[in-house]
Amino acid sequence: MKKYIVANWKMNPQSVAEAEDILAYIDEYLKNETEKKERSLIICPPFVFLDDISKILSTSQLSQQAELGAQDIALADSGAWTGEVSGPMLKRLGVSYVIVGHSERRWKMGESDELVNKKLKTVLANDLTPIVCVGEKVRDNNFKEFLKNQLSATLAGLSDDEKGKCIIAYEPVWAISSNPDSHPDKPEDTLKAVNIIKEVLSPNTLVLYGGSVTSKNAKDFLLLEQIAGVLVGGVSVQKEEFVQILKNL
């Protein structure tokens, strides 16, 4: 089964030169990989680097395994939306995937399920593949109901065909390292959430794990048949650590 490795660079690195260095390191590893593995590598840099990264991906070993993703999308395709980047703009830069509903945008920036739903529909309308993030802030007795409600609201109004085009990234906020009260997730606990997601959507839904993935825990999640891959955050710009994750496949 092909696994998805999504690198969410967030607001990193600080220069194109650093971005090029990260990709060159990954590219060198892929060139020397003795056993070719079934994977789909998706690089999601900040908007300002999309053009540069697009050119690098198309002219290196990465072109055979990597695709370009964006971290967000504007609600409209054009018009008076200061500071926003539209779907058509993303497509012209070679973007294929868009992250929507990331926990940082939900919890830090106040994006509601309704807003995420609108962005999700915009992604689909532009023939881009959405990576839809969902997840509870705390794991308590109500987490199943919370997750079901969040899924229903986030994917409201979508046809079964449209839902089938979505990749779901399960992000337990309580397990994310930037959370001061975080504690590690366990694969068996993640499977409970994955089963809920597949129950609400479809048994064939692709579900990624995105709760502070590192080279130390990635293999535990990637070995599970029910999990289609990982959404890697902060360590995706740590080139040695990220390559270790690729080796875990």
Catalytic machinery residues: 102, 171
* Strand pairing class (66-70; 3-8): unpaired
Residue 182 sits at the vertex; the CA angle it makes with 179 and 184, to the nearest 5 degrees, is 135
| Rounded CA Rg of the chain | 17
